[in-house]
Amino acid sequence: MLETRMEWAFLAFLPARDMAVAFVTGLHYFVCVFNGSDLLVVTRRDMNATWRTTGALCRELDWSKRRLIHEMCNRLRYRTIPEGYVIEWDNDFLWPYLNVEASEISVPYGLYAAGVVPPPPKTRAGLDRGLTLGIEVLPPTGAEVPPSAEWAFATTRRLQAEGRIPEDAKKKKSKLAHLLAAESQKAVKAGQLGRALKATYLENQLISWGIWPLSSFK
């Protein structure tokens, strides 16, 4: 059984494959999609509730690698791929082996035995090789929404209300990203945004910001 803690309750899911569950509580609408041991939670009002790669989180919150490690030492939620491993982030011998952009840690055997706890029934003493684990993190509760995300959300809503989103941008994420990139240049000139946003950056963020797919954007 997989158990996931939410701010307001504990939810338990029996492992299943290719299933989705939607439910409503108070003013929040949740969609849960789970496949075996993986669980993705997307909320309309809290776009920070989805798992991130370490690189994506650091870009969103403008964190350095050292800041990321500090937060993981202080209860920032993370999960490993494969699941179940516990990483002793306060062991500074492990830090050089964390690749933030790749969102993984590759630990040689000697340090692995000292800094990573594998899930049962394995034991550290019985492992004779190093290990590479994928790492995903959840943004901290109450994390500020990046200004770029707020701007993109408001601009998309405005363009939608004005009927200025072309049909191809409604169907292709890359087209919407290019439209928003052009709008960001205007916003910089108007003093509404600190810097112009690249289309590639926007395209990579539209889903996590809750803007794409545009058909469900409100």
| Strand-strand pairing, 38-43 and 28-36 | antiparallel
Q: How far apart are CA 34 and CA 84, in angstroms?
A: 17
Residue in the structure block whose two tokens are 């993981």: 72
Residue-wise pLDDT for 132-150, tens only, equals: 999 999 988 765 667 888 8
What number is the average pLDDT over the span 184-202? Answer: 91
The pLDDT of residue 34 is: 39
Q: Domain coordinates of the chain in residue numbers?
A: 2-49, 53-137, 147-213
Residue-wise pLDDT for 1-23, tens only, equals: 444 444 444 344 444 444 444 44
Give residue 200's Cα distance to chain centre.
17
Q: How far apart are CA 108 and CA 128, in angstroms?
A: 10
